[in-house]
Amino acid sequence: MPIDFAPVPEVAALAQRTATFVRETVLPVEQDCHGIVRSETTRRELQAAAKAAGVFAPHVSAEWGGHGLDMRGRAIVFEEAGYALLGPLALNIAAPDEGNMHMLEAIATTGQKEKYLAPLAGGEARSCFAMTEPAPGAGSDAAALSTVAERVPGGWRIQGRKWFATGADGAAFAICMARTSGAPGDAGGATMFLVDADNPGMKLLRHIDTLDQSLYGGHLEVLFDGCIVPDDAVLGEVDEGFRYAQVRLGPARMTHCMRWLGIARHSQDIAVARANERSVFGSTLADLGMVQAMIADNEIDIAASRGLVLQACWELDQGRSAAQATSIAKTFTSEAVWRVVDRSLQICGSLGISGDLPLGRFLQEVRPFRIYDGPSETHRWSIARRTARRARTAS
């Protein structure tokens, strides 16, 4: 089957409207707050502006107020939104809400969609995904899951500690992964639960101080202490949480790549503009070979990342697992984006490390991407294992 990466006219037009909206509406706000929004008023104002511009919620279906883009369509639009740190927040495609919407639309019951997906897709509520745990619990090895959920009359009692629950501060609900059978280290036995934020058994313990600061609602440590939820809080089927999580993980890794590619492009634009205007040693920076090499390497990293993302998105759109393609794209893009931002800062010299340009902020924001959604080392391990297994099967 041929692969066509050319966007249909409707998607191309949406991407162009998104680019215009981000530059004219979002960037001025971002410059004023240095890419860090704490105000719910600002979030709602940005999202109201996105709705007025016709670019809000491009990923959810029309039934829930969105544009219903497939993964390849999202790649183009999300990259334009990611040109600003606050672009994804404005379009309601920021993590973790975007991934949670994708999963809820795919596996939630009708009642769960009405209660949780509808307000989330409309920007009336936010959410968090409580999966990661302090050591020795679940991290890059999800099977180490130690939070447990036990049956009680009419529902379940959840007990455990989570951290890096992004967006938990102010979220209306959490999607919590807990073990309902087996023991830490077992490959199965996990279940996902929808937990309302006003549940007295879910306690927000602290904000974790991290390099990145632009994700709305912070990264929190959360305690589930005798947290009772009803039977209809189960998302999907009991003991099938790890399988259902794959519905979210592959696409979420790619949407992270899409958004950060926007920041890489923004960084390159800043560096090229500076190289063209800055004169040193009798010529512009852009005329110097070493600077030209960095500009060229940036272009190569951006183009290669985009190609890998589109390949993985095509596989996802075909209904494939795309496990190998998403691991390759995530690993390469997370490292390539860092290289692009770092080179761009270097080209800009002392101006680059000053607060007069956003490159220092970008560098802080993109560095954690090599760790979350699977560190590069874990993905390389998985890529190698699949490759070796394929070779054994073929021989």
Q: Residue with structure tokens 């560095």?
A: 367
Q: Per the structure block, which two tokens stand in for 325?
A: 């393609």
Mean pLDDT of the 186-201 span: 96
What residue spans of 3-153 are helical by DSSP H? 9-21, 27-33, 40-53, 71-81, 87-91, 97-107, 110-112, 118-121
Q: Per the structure block, which two tokens stand in for 231?
A: 């039977």
Q: Does domain 9-121 have CATH number 3.40.630.30?
A: no
pLDDT at 305 over 90: yes
- Nearest one of 101, 372, 381 to 260, comparing CA atoms: 372
- Nearest one of 261, 248, 216 to 15, comparing CA atoms: 261
What pLDDT, on a 0 to 100 scale, did the predictor assign at position 5? 73
Handedness of CA 125, 202, 164, 333 (dihedral sign): negative
Mean pLDDT of the 161-168 span: 97
User: For a pLDDT cut of 70, what percent of the chain falls above it?
Assistant: 99
Side-chain half-sphere CA neighbours of 308 within 13 A:
23
**Alpha-carbon span 78 to 7, nearest angstrom:** 13
pTM of the model: 0.95
pLDDT at 277 over 80: yes
Residues 209/268, Cβ–Cβ less than 8 Å:
no
Class of domain 127-235: mainly beta
- How many angstroms from the chain centroid is the CA of residue 147? 24
Q: Residue with structure tokens 């089957």?
A: 1
> CB under 8 Å, gap of 24 or more: what pairs does 387-390 form?
387/324
What pLDDT, on a 0 to 100 scale, did the predictor assign at position 290? 97
pLDDT at 132 over 80: yes
What pLDDT, on a 0 to 100 scale, did the predictor assign at position 3? 65
Task: Determine the longest span between alpha carbons in the chain, in angstroms.
Answer: 80
Mean pLDDT of the 43-70 span: 97
User: For a pLDDT cut of 90, what percent of the chain falls above it?
Assistant: 95
Q: Residue with structure tokens 């959410």?
A: 127
User: How high does pLDDT run on average in the chain?
Assistant: 96
Where do the domains of the chain lie?
Answer: 9-121, 127-235, 242-394
**Alpha-carbon span 191 to 213, nearest angstrom:** 30
Which uninterrupted H or E stretch holds 169? none
**Alpha-carbon span 34 to 257, nearest angstrom:** 22
Q: Per the structure block, which two tokens stand in for 139?
A: 């991290």
- Nearest one of 337, 283, 239, 313 to 71, comparing CA atoms: 313
CATH number for the domain running over 242-394: 1.20.140.10
pLDDT range class, residue 6, cuts 50, 70, 90: confident
Mean pLDDT of the 313-328 span: 96
At 258, the amino acid letter reads M
What pLDDT, on a 0 to 100 scale, did the predictor assign at position 1? 53
Could you give phi then psi for residue 106, rounded to 5 degrees?
Answer: -80, -35
**Alpha-carbon span 279 to 286, nearest angstrom:** 9
What pLDDT, on a 0 to 100 scale, did the predictor assign at position 246? 87
Taking only Cα atoms into account, the Rg of the chain, rounded to an integer number of angstroms, comes to 21
